[in-house]
Amino acid sequence: MRVNEKYASLPTEEKGIHIINIRAIEDIGYIQHESTLLNSLCQDPDANCKYGLYFRDGKRKVDYILVYHYKKSSVSRTLARRIHHNDSSARSIKQDQPLPGKGGHLEMGESEPHMDYHEDDKRFRREEYEGNLMEAGLELERDEDTKIHGVGFVKIHAPWNVLCREAEFLKLKMPTKKVYQINQGHGLLKKINSVIQKITEPIQPKVAEHKPQTMKRLSYPFSREKQHLFDLSDKESFFDSKTRSTIVYEILKRTTCTKAKYSMGITSLLANGVYSAAYPLHDGDYEGENVELNDRKLLCEEWASYGVFYKYQPIDLVRKYFGEKIGLYFAWLGVYTQMLIPASIVGVIVFLYGCATVNDNIPSKEMCDERNNITMCPLCDKTCSYWNMSSACATARASHLFDNPATVFFSVFMALWAATFMEHWKRKQMRLNYRWDLTGFEEEEEAVKAHPRAEYEAKVLEKSLRKEYIRKKKRRHLPEETANKWRQRVKTVMAGVKLTDKEKLTWKDRFPAYLTNFVGIIFMIGLTFAIVFGVIIYRISTAAALAISSTNSGRSSVRVTVTATAVIINLVVIIILDEVYGCIARWLTQIEVPKTDKNFEERLIFKAFLLKFVNAYTPIFYVAFFKGRFVGRPGDYVYIFHSFRMEECAPGGCLMELCIQLSIIMLGKQLIQNNLFEIGIPKMKKLIRYIKLKRQRPLDHEEHMKKKQRYEVDYNLEPFAGLTPEYMEMIIQFGFVTLFVASFPLAPLFALLNNIIEIRLDAKKFVTELRRPVAVRAKDIGIWYNILRAVGKLAVIINAFVISFTSDFIPRLVYLYMYSENGTMHGFVNHTLSYFNVTDFQEGTAPNDQMGPDHKVHICRYKDYREPPWSENKYDISKDFWAVLAARLAFVIVFQNLVMFMSDFVDWIIPDIPKDISQQIHKEKVLMVEVFMKEEQGKLQMLETWKEKSMKKGENCNNHSPKLSRTGSMSSHHSYNIDV
């Protein structure tokens, strides 16, 4: 008799008590030694249960683990250990002392101090909840005799009938007996596929799931009435560990306890500390010589190792072990990394083109030619002196590496690349949906995700009880009829359970949270702008301070020093604020109290992305579009706080500085935040947990030699925190690759190198550092796809403005076709510089020293399109400025519309669903119809056969009726035969 059947025979009012009070139940006689809530008193239980993967009987697999904290004295712990290792003495002591594995902490004897109210309340809730789980059909076993002091574990097993019931309820698609052949193509296409398979064979992972399949089983939503359709020859492996844990988790969410007047599912129990953790188990160990081969070990060898960085990912095995949602993340990351290869190659070619043509670039030659002897106006007031343009030769030559005609082509290429990447991912996603039997998944997905969150239910309960309290206060002033007293008592008792179904949170309830969200986000964005503004002040003041240096080397390195230090400050601030903004976004989302997990996740992603996007890109936007745009002119500069003069761009333009800013922030975030933090922080947390556990209580030799159970080892791992941080860092990187790619063509290459490491780093983290997450079904990457599309569209606009306004591409074109005398770029630098008479400086702003005693400066030059001082309208904006501005705006419009049209054309010309996949889906539907038609025909044939037999029997009865009526004994005899 199973345990849930034993408890079913108990009185209803005693179930919650007898789940925990083991001695009382044994006295009654309901619990025997094989109880699922007790550890079996066997000689070597760990060998039978494979160290925690199975129950003590060694037959029932552990599908899920619940962890709780309890208070237990050392006397009970030592006694429990003695009982556990001495079966004969245990039988004589068990009537007087608590049994091992169930709990010395439950008996309020002399050796155990009395618990406080909160501990008793948690224990009562656990009793009721575990009893309800057993009523739902699950089987439980408790273990408190572990190496982790004060921590108890409840092992959960789902029997076959429960798995079948829940699989039907969740509409899980399971493979049927029907097998069909997958179309492999014909002729030339088949030969090409075979050649590609042979070429890529060395980089394919050595797992069975990754091998190309020619046959596929027809899948159908599981139904207990149609079990004959499914291959149930091996019931143990029909539901894999991922599916079993998913089913148990759905039961845990659905099951509630009501001892606290309101329903509490597993999420509420975890939030209230009744249980400290809940997780499925890993399949086993992943390292060691005598470790049995399992999916976890296989993933560690063929996926989560840096030595296999050149291989494809075993996505099907990842999905089998972690579920569809995590499988889709790694599939998307693999497609993104794969698509970065052509982008990196083109980016390197563009960069090499810039290197090859730098010596032929006429504007940089003119800037480096010391014979021109162009004297430039000072970069700051008083302390800065005049300087020669030839001193900025290195900056001008470096700018050409990233500011050349090839960068325009590369911007167009990357816009089309982004569109092609999105289309390629959609097609890959459809292939995975077909392979993973996720076609037609929307209905059950919405049904599963519509379950209200624990915080939402608690908030609704609070609102309901508040209304009930107000009603009670009003009723006190009214005479209450005696007949209604019983009804009022019933309503009061059921208030906590029933009122939550009637009430819901309105916008009025959420208005304070919405207001807090709005103010908080505005404040955070303002804080980011303030920090960027502070860095600008730092750059201006540092540049002025360094300019006082009397050495020429110090003066020449001012711009490089200021730029490098400012970017490093920006990087540090960005990394710190990223962590802060992530926590704030989660808090802002929590106070909104979204109803479902899906709503919570989407709102959290939106807030976190908005804050982190502003944080990462604000310094880059400043350099790209604002620096050097509002400086004024010599004699009429723009000042901040009447003392700090706005920054100017270098003579070669701001594009080089934009490149430096982008590269340092991108590489810094990838190396420090994405890699070092992901490796270092989990290792540090693991070390801290180990030290705490070691200091909690000294272990004796017997306990030290005892091998840890699987659930103990997994408990020491980090809990899974969701995929939002993983997606977020990749989306921010996608922005670096696409948004400002015109200024940094090597961005795709650095992203590719990072992602090759990132895939294996994330894989190692999931396999070795994290508890096994609950498998979640999903057919796409959700809101992240919309964010990717938005970033791709924004990239077209930003690159158009970068090429048009940040680089010198448009001014060069205008000069070449409108102002050049010989059709070359000779004279371009002189054309972009205006003249200024030094006598027009404002009082107190002229430089304190001249360039030298023999060199008296009368006219200096500055980069702008303005009238010269000898003109009637001196220092006014010249017509050249308006010509260049018109060309820039025209380029933005043409570039944006052209690239958008080409992207939409790519989107239109590439179908979302591959043709072979649509054919296979259609073939599956036809085969499924055939299966059911054959089944119906079989039923009809059986029905017709039964009718024919019944008609023949009826005719026989009619033929024998006269003879049977003559003798009553014969009649009764024949009628008996007919009934049989």
CB count within 10 Å of CB 698 equals: 8
Asked if residue 236 and residue 380 are part of one domain, the reply reads: no
- Name the more confident of 931 and 26: 931
Helices marked H in 358-506: 362-368, 393-402, 405-435, 442-449, 454-476, 485-502
Residue 182 placed within a domain = yes
Asked if residue 590 and residue 728 are part of one domain, the reply reads: yes
pTM of the model: 0.82
Question: Which residues lie closer than 8 Å to 591 by C-beta, 6 or more apart?
Answer: 513, 516, 517
Give the pLDDT confidence score for residue 80 in this predicted structure.
40
Alpha-carbon distance values, 923 to 60, 183, 218, 494 (Å) = 39, 10, 10, 53
Asked if residue 280 and residue 323 are part of one domain, the reply reads: no
Give the pLDDT confidence score for residue 492 in this predicted structure.
46
Question: Which residues lie closer than 8 Å to 881 by C-beta, 6 or more apart?
Answer: 864, 865, 866
Residue 3 placed within a domain = no
**Mean pLDDT to the nearest integer, 663-687:** 78
- Name the more confident of 594 and 477: 594
Asked if residue 262 and residue 346 are part of one domain, the reply reads: no
Q: What is the CA radius of gyration of the chain?
A: 38
- Name the more confident of 754 and 510: 754
Quote the CA–CA distance of 756 and 135 in Å, as a whole number.
Answer: 49
Structure tokens at 884: 């260049």
Range with lowest mean pLDDT among 274-278, 478-482, 862-866, 892-896 = 478-482
Question: Which residues lie closer than 8 Å to 398 by C-beta, 6 or more apart?
Answer: 652, 656
- Name the more confident of 57 and 281: 281
**Three state DSSP letters for 823-850:** CCCCCHHHHHEEEEEHHHCCCCCCCCCC
The 8-class DSSP code of residue 479 comes to P
Q: Tell me the backbone φ, ψ of residue 368, rounded to 5 degrees.
A: -85, -10
Give the pLDDT confidence score for residue 206 in this predicted structure.
83
Residue corresponding to tokens 């063929």: 302
Residue 903 placed within a domain = no
Tally of structural domains, the chain: 3
- Name the more confident of 698 and 435: 435
Asked if residue 258 and residue 342 are part of one domain, the reply reads: no
Give the pLDDT confidence score for residue 652 in this predicted structure.
65
Long-range contacts of 852-860 (CB under 8 A, 24+ apart): 857/375, 857/386, 859/375, 859/835, 860/375, 860/376, 860/377, 860/378, 860/386, 860/634, 860/835, 860/836
Residue 854 placed within a domain = no
For the chain, the straight-line distance linking the first and the last C-alpha, in angstroms and rounded, comes to 35
Last residue of a domain, one of 810, 844, 864: 810
Give the pLDDT confidence score for residue 330 in this predicted structure.
95
The 8-class DSSP code of residue 228 comes to G
DSSP 407-420: HHHHHHHHHHHHHH
Give the pLDDT confidence score for residue 329 in this predicted structure.
94
Asked if residue 282 and residue 317 are part of one domain, the reply reads: no
Asked if residue 318 and residue 278 are part of one domain, the reply reads: no
Quote the CA–CA distance of 296 and 298 in Å, as a whole number.
Answer: 5
Asked if residue 725 and residue 668 are part of one domain, the reply reads: yes
Range of the domain at 169: 117-291
Instruction: Provide the b/e sequence for 906-929 (b: ≥16 CB within 10 Å).
Output: beeeeeebbeebeebeebbeeebe
Tens of pLDDT, residue by residue over 563-582, are 888 888 888 899 899 889 98
Give the pairing type, strands 139-143 and 277-279.
unpaired
Asked if residue 281 and residue 327 are part of one domain, the reply reads: no
Range with lowest mean pLDDT among 221-225, 298-302, 377-381 = 377-381
Alpha-carbon distance values, 217 to 179, 272, 318, 430, 589 (Å) = 4, 45, 20, 18, 43
Question: Which residues lie closer than 8 Å to 687 by C-beta, 6 or more apart?
Answer: none
Range with lowest mean pLDDT among 387-401, 427-441, 741-755 = 387-401
Give the pLDDT confidence score for residue 609 in this predicted structure.
92
Tens of pLDDT, residue by residue over 260-299, are 556 677 888 888 888 989 999 998 888 877 778 888 989 9
Tens of pLDDT, residue by residue over 782-832, are 899 999 999 989 998 998 998 888 888 888 889 888 888 888 888 888 888
* Average predicted confidence (pLDDT) for the chain: 77
Q: Tell me the backbone φ, ψ of residue 433, rounded to 5 degrees.
A: -60, -40
Residue 412 placed within a domain = yes
Are 264 and 256 a contacting pair, CB within 8 Å? yes
Asked if residue 333 and residue 277 are part of one domain, the reply reads: no
**Mean pLDDT to the nearest integer, 210-238:** 82
β-bridge mates for residue 157, sequence order: 139
- Name the more confident of 503 and 419: 419
Residue corresponding to tokens 């009987």: 57
Asked if residue 140 and residue 272 are part of one domain, the reply reads: yes
Last residue of a domain, one of 787, 810, 833: 810
DSSP 262-302: S-B-HHHHHHTTSSSEEEPPPSS-SSSSSPPP-HHHHHHHH
The 8-class DSSP code of residue 877 comes to B
Question: Which residues lie closer than 8 Å to 785 by C-beta, 6 or more apart?
Answer: 422, 425
Give the pLDDT confidence score for residue 750 in this predicted structure.
92
Alpha-carbon distance values, 215 to 147, 221, 248, 314, 565 (Å) = 48, 20, 31, 19, 61
β-bridge mates for residue 837, sequence order: 859
Give the pLDDT confidence score for residue 961 in this predicted structure.
53
Give the pLDDT confidence score for residue 417 in this predicted structure.
92
Residue 72 placed within a domain = no
Asked if residue 236 and residue 338 are part of one domain, the reply reads: no
Last residue of a domain, one of 810, 836, 851: 810
Residue 317 placed within a domain = yes
Question: Which residues lie closer than 8 Å to 727 by C-beta, 6 or more apart?
Answer: 329, 605, 781, 784
Residue 912 placed within a domain = no
The shares of helix, strand and coil residues in the chain, as percent rounded to the nearest 5, are 65, 5, 30
- Name the more confident of 88 and 775: 775
